[in-house]
Structure 1
Amino acid sequence: MFDHFPAEKAHRILESGPIVLVSTRGVDGQANLMTMGFHMMMQHEPALVGVIIGPWDHSHRALVETGECVLAVPTVELAETVVDIGNCSGDTMDKFQHFGLTAVAAETVGAPLVRECWANLECRISDSEWSSRYNLFVLEVQRIWIDNEKEEKRLIHHQGDGRFSVDGEQIDLHQRMVKWRYLM
């Protein structure tokens, strides 16, 4: 009935959050972007997001130095660009310029927003206790920007090994969420 699936591929089943672009600006003033699929909501208030950013990522240094970043949420029309951003390093190029993306000043952090993305979440490190052991940073969302004029709102989700899914039809069951109504 069931087939075996390798434990090291758990992310292909459980990673359902959208791909994001992590925007940073180092103390040298250089802005950078990286593609990230390993993140998770940790709590509502304050809004905490766990992200995996290791020393192998060029953005790691800027995040550690400044303690802040922007999580930019692209929609499906940027899918190929998002993958390409993840396949090169910011230590050899200006990714905003190379990929034709627009850096926009944020309000609460030094890292830029990405104009072409549907949403941008300004974040500061809230907890880095697990960063040396698991490369896990806990970010507190400071401010969120949404482009409500953007027609395309379908997000892309990494399923591992270069496979992606795209948001489809939504179903609205908020009336059934009686236990969690205070969060709406």
Structure 2
Amino acid sequence: MKHPVKKDFPVSQVRRYLEPGPIVLVSSALGEQRNVMTLGWHTVLEFSPSLVGLMISAGNHSFSLIRDSAECVINLPTTALTDIVVGIGNTTGAQIDKFAHFGLTPLKADRVAAPLIAECHACFECRLHEAALVDSLNFFVFEVVKAHVAPTPKHPETLHYRGDGSFMVSGKVISRRGLFRPEMLD
């Protein structure tokens, strides 16, 4: 196997290679307030219960809504929403109603007050599971308590942020299922 030649790279830019997954839209609500934010810093932490960690800057308008309500919805947009995803990330819910401004359809969730986004491929209702790292690192651990997923396409085209305003689109699916032990598959 050929080894690629590597060069020094700024450590402040490693996120271009390590971003954990697709860009998501996180919706929140508290009382009469609601918001949606673009988020790329999330990670799956556990399978059962289904735990997901979100890094949400304390300076973000959604931070206090999510911290104080202890819930949110993680919505998975497809590439069809690319310009909306960028627009949401470039605006603040402190100044505009992002749902109205970007033409998003809020739907009532089953288990949380935060709205689902109808235009997204999947919506995951979440309740705060662990807040120990919220004050020190702005890191929330949520349990997915209800999932809504469109049955098709099975592998939607999603956006993956690379920094500097660049995205990658999810690529083709490569299966190696036959190499895995069935008891290890989830």
Could you tell me the TM-score, scaled by structure 1's length?
0.94
Give 1:14's match in structure 2, choosing from 18, 21, 30.
18
Give 1:4's match in structure 2, choosing from 4, 8, 17.
8
Q: Report the CA distance between 1:66 and its aligned residue.
A: 0.6
Report the AA paired with residue 19 of structure 1.
I
CA distance, structure 2, for counterparts of residue 11 and residue 96 of structure 1: 29
Could you tell me the TM-score, scaled by structure 2's length?
0.93
- SS of 1:63 mapped into structure 2: helix
Give 1:67's match in structure 2, choosing from 47, 70, 81.
70
Alignment of 1:29-48 (within 5 A): 29-48=32-51
- Where does structure 1 lack aligned partners over 5 or more consecutive residues? none
Report the AA paired with residue 53 of structure 2.
G
Identity %: 38
Q: Is the contact between residue 23 and residue 33 of structure 1 (CA under 8 Å) also seen in structure 2? A: yes
- SS of 1:148 mapped into structure 2: coil
Tell me which moved more, 98-107 or 147-156: 147-156
CA distance, structure 2, for counterparts of residue 177 and residue 121 of structure 1: 27
- Where does structure 2 lack aligned partners over 5 or more consecutive residues? none
Q: Is the contact between residue 16 and residue 159 of structure 1 (CA under 8 Å) also seen in structure 2? A: no
Q: CA RMSD in A?
A: 1.6
Give 1:153's match in structure 2, choosing from 156, 167, 171.
156
CA distance, structure 2, for counterparts of residue 45 and residue 16 of structure 1: 20
1:136 is the counterpart of 2:139: yes
Tell me which moved more, 134-143 or 173-182: 173-182
Deviations, residues 74-111 of structure 1 (Å, cap 9, x unaligned): 00010111011000000111100000000000000000
Tell me what 1:51 maps to.
54
